[in-house]
Amino acid sequence: MTMKNKYILLLLLSVLVLSFFSPAEVVAKKKKKKTEQVKVKSEYEKLVGDSTRIEAKGLMNLYWIGDKVYMEIPKNVVGKRLLMGAVVDKLSNPQESSVGFRAVSPLQVKFCKSDSLIRLYQIANRPVTDHDPYIGDALERSFSDILLEQFSVKAYSPDSAMVIDVTSSVFKNDEFMNPIDPKGFNSMDGWVKRKATFKQKQSMISGIAAYVDNVSISCNMSYDLSMSLFGIFPIAEDIPFSAVVKRTFMLLPEDEDYLPRLADARIGTLWNDKVSFSDKEQGSQTQYWVNRWNLKDGSPIVFYVDTLLPDSWQRCVFRSADIWNGAFRKIGFSKALEVKPYSKDSDSFDANSITKSCIRYVASPSEKITDNCWSDPQTGEIISANIYIPHNLASQIQLDYFLQTSSFNEKARTLTPDASLVEEALTSLLLKHWGHCLGLTDNMAGSIAYPVDSLQSEGFVKKYGLSASVMDKLPMNYLLSSDSYKSGMPLTQQVLGEYDHWALRYLYQPMNKKTPQEELSALRALVSERNRNPLLLFKGPQNRKAYYDPRGMEMDLGNDAIRAATIAFENMGKVIANANQWLDKEDVNYEERTMLYGHIINQVDEYVKHVLQQVGGIYLNDSYRGDVYPSYQSVPKEVQRNSFLWMLDAIEKMSWMDNEELQNHCALTGSAADYSQKFFGNLILVQLGNLWLSESKSDDPYTQKQATADLINFLFKETKVGKKPSGFKRFVQEQLLNVVISWSDVSPAKDKSSSGSSSGFALSEMHPYWGMKAIESISYMSAPARGPFWYGCLQDLKQEFQKAKVVAPTKELKEEYAYRLFTIEKALRK
């Protein structure tokens, strides 16, 4: 076919096609095609239709687009109570923090709509009232919610959900997102201060997640850290650190069947506080609600155990949970705790979801188990809880066994963790942390419940444990010896104590009442059982600013502190004498032995303080009308005096702390005995200066005058007969002279606020937390004016030094006493 014929054929075909369509139809189809091409998308479609988006759908849908995160808030979530908090999910250096660390307690918040804005409010901790509408209206006006953030609505979904940009709200360096644990390993127990400088440009959004009851946004936060000793002396600068922190919003429960329960200061529970106003009483009252789970029989509390934990450690988790389940069965719950391994279904299980309660393995050099609880601020209902077990825990457990039990236990004569010992100790530690997760707090009085003889009996320890409560901070059983210890005898707490069963009844025993007030009479009857049973005594941790009660000590055992410390010293002496031989094969480079003496001194310090705290001690009790326990009571005179004299004698005889063979393998160091004697000698003088408070609260006190006389008699016993006193006595003679000069006011002192001499007066802040918090100070404290008494002591010391100089057996000693007399004369001339 020629080219011309082709053109003719195409022309005929075109005419044929056009014959099927009118010109109007052709135009209409062109317009329709054009209209389809320019159809306008809604703002919502533009936003969530981005092909690069990552989305997560749940309680509130999340959209991660580029460097922005959008939150889609349904209408049924607006105004609902949410819990907003943050936890560390990953980190670059576990010495700075730990997975699961929570910087601050979560906030109760809500989203509210106002015109074209969405506002995030912190829900006020508004006082409650007994259904009085007038008081309720007044409280609502006086305690309004706090505006935290506000957002413009970017788009509306087809079902009217509101989409907001939350990037700047969740991705910022605020107190919630700060991943640095102030008690982390690198804080060195508070000696090292760390400052974190946030690096915005090196930080980014790293993930989103959504579930039916909570959503979370993960941020990779980058910092430069600086470290300094005491916050003064620089150690390091610009240390890079990063952590992934999850900000979570969780829907709080609206349990119609959950009944808050009132707390009581005489029993150790976690609690929330609420101020209550009533038209029946003038003024307001603070009410305290216990923290507990909404536990129903047949619906156990589920915890997930990290499968990264060694199998033997996982067995400890299950075993310790079963022990608590045994206590729950006694009050009607067939199974309260159910432990499951981490699910392998990564799509439906996230251990860092705020609603998941987990026992987690933490790759950290930390040596302590930690835990936390998340509770509803309004009701006290526990929502979730977590226990964190660090990698280095086994090493710390073995070290404790070595220091406390190796004198009689062959398995403990190594610093290489023994699997059976670690399992035993880990089970004991987990019993306490399970208690925290159930709503119990520490009870430091459990360990003084039993006689020392009982704790040396295998049958007694197997049945009752070392303490009346697992909630105490307990050591291994250091009260045994080669004669009393038998293989298989428990060295740690393996059972719940009588107090634990009692406290669990308070938290969870069904009362079948409709209001917290209706439960009150039954709860008070339960608490009154402590009046007939000393094993139910509760002592919470004491504030270090007001450490008065010797019954609330950590790491003590038995109801006789002097006898317990005597046994502990004997056992520690054997450990020091044999440590070099026991560790010689495993510690080939002497690294472990070099560190050992520091641990020994710290352990001895614990034993000393158990006795020392009885000098000037005061028993403090939270007492209600009808209780047998007085609000306060000074430690009996004979106990104080015996403790003071024992301290002086035991410290003077501390030469057993030095082992030349062991020290020769350590780094260059001085005498551990001499160091400890001087340290403890100063503590004795501190207690002497503080005796006046206990003295003022007793009808038959051990007085500063009596204690000073006992001290002077002890210090100058040898000098009176012309003998040379020990180096410890000579050191304390000097220190006593210095403090007496200060306390007698004959010489200006830089700081007399802690002295036991001249008068002091202070109006202290009143703390309105009756019993629920440890006291921080004694209100209206007024120290007696004892300058004249201490001046008389100074004159007595002058006479003692004069006599000692005359009969001193060596020239060195004569010169020393001459110098002491010169110091006195110099002070008296000012």
Confidence of residue 24 (pLDDT cuts 50, 70, 90): very low
At 558 the three-state DSSP class reads: coil
pLDDT at 769 over 50: no
In contact, 60 and 215? CB cutoff 8 Å: yes
pLDDT of residue 493: 98
Indicate the pairing of strand 146-156 with strand 162-165.
antiparallel
Backbone angles phi, psi at 250, to 5 degrees: -125, 135
First to last CA, the chain: 135
Percent of the chain with pLDDT over 90: 65
Distance CA 225, CA 216 (A): 26
The kind and range of the H/E element at 239 are: strand 233-251
The kind and range of the H/E element at 250 are: strand 233-251
Confidence of residue 765 (pLDDT cuts 50, 70, 90): very low
* Top-confidence residue, 782 or 611: 611
Distance CA 473, CA 482 (A): 25
* Top-confidence residue, 649 or 187: 649
686 sits in the region (left: phi over 0; alpha: psi -120 to 50; else beta) called: alpha
Range with lowest mean pLDDT among 15-24, 385-394, 709-718: 15-24
In contact, 701 and 694? CB cutoff 8 Å: yes
pLDDT at 764 over 80: no
Range with lowest mean pLDDT among 35-49, 272-286, 342-356, 589-603: 272-286
**Which residues on neighbouring strands pair with residue 486, listed in sequence order?**
none
Confidence of residue 112 (pLDDT cuts 50, 70, 90): very high
- Convert the pLDDT of each residue in 653-710 to its tens digit: 999 999 988 887 776 678 899 999 999 999 999 999 999 999 999 999 999 999 999 9
Confidence of residue 21 (pLDDT cuts 50, 70, 90): very low
Give the CA diameter of the chain. 147
Backbone angles phi, psi at 204, to 5 degrees: -160, 160
DSSP, res 144: P
Confidence of residue 16 (pLDDT cuts 50, 70, 90): very low
User: Half-sphere exposure (CA, 13 Å, Cβ side) for 377?
Assistant: 19
Strands (E), 393-508: none
Contacts of 605 (CB under 8 A, 6+ apart): 676, 679, 680
Q: Taking residues 131-159, what's their average pLDDT?
A: 81
pLDDT at 27 over 80: no
**Token pair for 520:** 């009150």
pLDDT at 553 over 90: yes
| Of 451, 457, 452, 450, residue with least CA distance to 484 | 457
pLDDT at 181 over 80: yes
pLDDT of residue 261: 96
In contact, 354 and 214? CB cutoff 8 Å: yes
Place of tokens 């413009």: 152
**Which residues on neighbouring strands pair with residue 676, listed in sequence order?**
none
For 798-806, the CB contacts below 8 A with 24+ separation are 798/824, 800/712, 800/716, 800/719, 803/719, 803/720, 804/716, 804/719, 804/720
Backbone angles phi, psi at 364, to 5 degrees: -140, 145
Q: Taking residues 575-587, what's their average pLDDT?
A: 94
pLDDT of residue 761: 38
In contact, 800 and 716? CB cutoff 8 Å: yes
Residue 272 sits at the vertex; the CA angle it makes with 271 and 277, to the nearest 5 degrees, is 130
Residue type, 245: V
pLDDT of residue 595: 87
The kind and range of the H/E element at 321 are: helix 311-329
In contact, 298 and 334? CB cutoff 8 Å: yes
DSSP, res 440: B
Give CA separation, 303 vs 258, 323, 436, 592, in Å. Answer: 20, 15, 14, 37
Residue 464 sits at the vertex; the CA angle it makes with 459 and 467, to the nearest 5 degrees, is 125
CA dihedral 761, 766, 769, 773 (to 10 degrees): -30
Distance CA 26, CA 30 (A): 6
- Convert the pLDDT of each residue in 93-107 to its tens digit: 888 888 778 888 889
pLDDT of residue 133: 65
Percent of the chain with pLDDT over 70: 87
Distance CA 316, CA 430 (A): 8
User: Half-sphere exposure (CA, 13 Å, Cβ side) for 720?
Assistant: 9
Confidence of residue 771 (pLDDT cuts 50, 70, 90): low
pLDDT of residue 23: 45
**Which residues on neighbouring strands pair with residue 299, listed in sequence order?**
296
- Convert the pLDDT of each residue in 485-529 to its tens digit: 999 899 999 999 999 999 999 999 999 999 999 999 999 999 999
DSSP, res 542: P
Q: Taking residues 547-560, what's their average pLDDT?
A: 94
Residue type, 462: K
Distance CA 654, CA 672 (A): 9
pLDDT of residue 364: 73
Considering the chain, what is the average pLDDT of its residues?
A: 87
Contacts of 193 (CB under 8 A, 6+ apart): 187, 227, 228, 229, 230, 231
Q: Taking residues 198-219, what's their average pLDDT?
A: 92
In contact, 629 and 621? CB cutoff 8 Å: yes
**Token pair for 404:** 């406390």
In contact, 442 and 268? CB cutoff 8 Å: yes
pLDDT of residue 233: 84
The kind and range of the H/E element at 375 are: strand 370-375
pLDDT at 755 over 80: no
Q: Where are the alpha helices (DSSP H) in 126-180?
A: 133-142, 167-170
Distance CA 338, CA 437 (A): 13
In contact, 691 and 756? CB cutoff 8 Å: yes
Radius of gyration of the chain from Cα atoms?
35
Residue type, 762: A
**Token pair for 15:** 């005419």
pLDDT at 733 over 50: yes
Backbone angles phi, psi at 51, to 5 degrees: -70, -20
Contacts of 731 (CB under 8 A, 6+ apart): 677, 678, 681
Distance CA 604, CA 610 (A): 10
The number of beta carbons lying within 10 Å of the beta carbon of residue 31 is 9
- Convert the pLDDT of each residue in 370-410 to its tens digit: 888 889 988 999 999 999 998 899 999 999 999 999 999 99
Backbone angles phi, psi at 533, to 5 degrees: -140, 105
- The percent of the chain in helix, strand and coil, each rounded to the nearest 5, is 40, 20, 40
**Token pair for 803:** 């006599």
State the burial class of residue 498 (Cβ atoms within 10 Å of its Cβ: 0-12, 13-18, 19+).
middle
